[in-house]
Amino acid sequence: MYRSGKVQFLFWSMFFSVIVYIWIVSVALTTFVLPNEPPLTTPQNVVTLLFVLYGFLILLTLAGLFVAVMIGNERYSRRFSAMVFLIFATIIFGKGMFG
């Protein structure tokens, strides 16, 4: 079955958004929540990695949402909107937890 290039873009954009989100959550959990011993200072390389990953995640998600809205694909539009909400909730939760 052949899918258009736009729908393929939406699929792969959603796929990589979920992968990057899982990567962010796993790095944050292993570094800040579940370390073997608590870090005395904030690990600068991990914070830089999280900023870069959040940048990619926001870029992928908003590009997918924009394309989904422009072509009128409600299914992916709902999924990307939920992903934007999940990203926002994660940022708020992290800010509330770590100040």
pLDDT in tens, 38-65: 777 888 999 899 999 999 999 999 999 9
Q: How many CB atoms are closer than 10 A to CB 68?
A: 24
If pLDDT is split at 50, 70 and 90, which confidence band does 1 have?
A: low
So where are the chain's domains? Answer: 44-99
The dihedral sign for the CA sequence 29, 31, 34, 39: negative
Q: Regarding predicted confidence, which is higher, 34 or 79? A: 79
Answer yes or no: are the C-beta atoms of 20 and 57 closer than 8 Å. Answer: yes
For 99, which DSSP code? -
pTM of the predicted structure, to 2 decimals = 0.88
Q: In angstroms, rounded to a whole number, what is the distance separating the alpha carbons of residues 59 and 66?
A: 10
If pLDDT is split at 50, 70 and 90, which confidence band does 95 have?
A: confident
Answer yes or no: are the C-beta atoms of 53 and 20 closer than 8 Å. Answer: yes
